[in-house]
Amino acid sequence: MHNNLFTTTILILFFFSNYSAAHDGIGCGRWKPMLNITNPWVVDIGKFAVHEHNKQDHASIKFVKLLKGEQVEAIGTFYNLTIKTTNGSVDTTCWTLVCDDPFVQVRRLVLFKWF
Ligand SMILES: *[C@@H]1O[C@H](CO)[C@@H](O)[C@H](O)[C@H]1NC(C)=O
Ligand SMILES: *[C@@H]1O[C@H](CO)[C@@H](O)[C@H](O)[C@H]1NC(C)=O
Ligand SMILES: *[C@@H]1O[C@H](CO)[C@@H](O)[C@H](O)[C@H]1NC(C)=O
């Protein structure tokens, strides 16, 4: 219940920020490309996304590396990360949305999609 409400709120924020970035760029909802995706803390968020996906879907893919990242400040920070993963033999690419709020120590996988 609480989870669903949270996710819905996130999705609304997500689409709103996407909208404003595309249409007027006013306010805090602006996606910014991440210039350095080798930073350990971004890599950590990418690994978290893969780990959460494995937990939720009983999968066992492995994080390989980040390919691309964008972030937007809302309630906490949202990371749109394109991640290269592998199942041990075949590499795949996914994109994920992670919400991270260090102040309240919340980190959540919001979306996980295969490319
Ligand atoms: C990117 O981050 C890594 C790890 O923090 C650092 O070693 C590297 O110098 C940074 N690269 C650039 C271009 O800032
Ligand atoms: C997130 O990144 C993917 C891959 O670059 C892109 O297709 C998608 O539009 C991005 N989403 C947002 C909300 O920026
Ligand atoms: C990885 O995925 C490929 C394609 O879906 C599959 O053929 C292969 O058996 C998988 N390998 C492992 C180790 O799960």
Percent with pLDDT over 90 in the chain: 66
Examine residue 4 and state whether it is found in any structural domain, yes or no.
no
**Is there an atom of ligand 2 within 6 Å of 70 CB?**
yes
Examine residue 1 and state whether it is found in any structural domain, yes or no.
no
Q: Is the pLDDT of residue 71 over 70?
A: yes
> Hey, which of 38, 43, 45, 65 would you mutate to test ligand 1's pocket, going by the most ligand atoms within 8 Å of its Cβ?
38
Quick one: pLDDT at residue 98? 97
Examine residue 44 and state whether it is found in any structural domain, yes or no.
yes
Examine residue 18 and state whether it is found in any structural domain, yes or no.
no
Q: How many domains does the chain have?
A: 1
| Ordered strands of the 32-33 beta sheet | 32-33, 62-74, 76-86, 91-101, 106-114
101: left (phi over 0), alpha (psi -120 to 50) or beta: beta
| Token digits of residue 90 | 């075949």
pTM above 0.85, yes or no: no
The CATH number assigned to the domain holding 84 equals 3.10.450.10
Higher pLDDT, 22 or 39: 39
Mean of pLDDT values over 29-40: 92
**Is there an atom of ligand 2 within 6 Å of 68 CB?**
yes
Q: Is the pLDDT of residue 44 over 70?
A: yes
Examine residue 19 and state whether it is found in any structural domain, yes or no.
no
Examine residue 78 and state whether it is found in any structural domain, yes or no.
yes
Quick one: pLDDT at residue 19? 47
Average pLDDT, the chain: 84
Examine residue 34 and state whether it is found in any structural domain, yes or no.
yes
Examine residue 10 and state whether it is found in any structural domain, yes or no.
no
Give the structural domain span for 62. 30-114
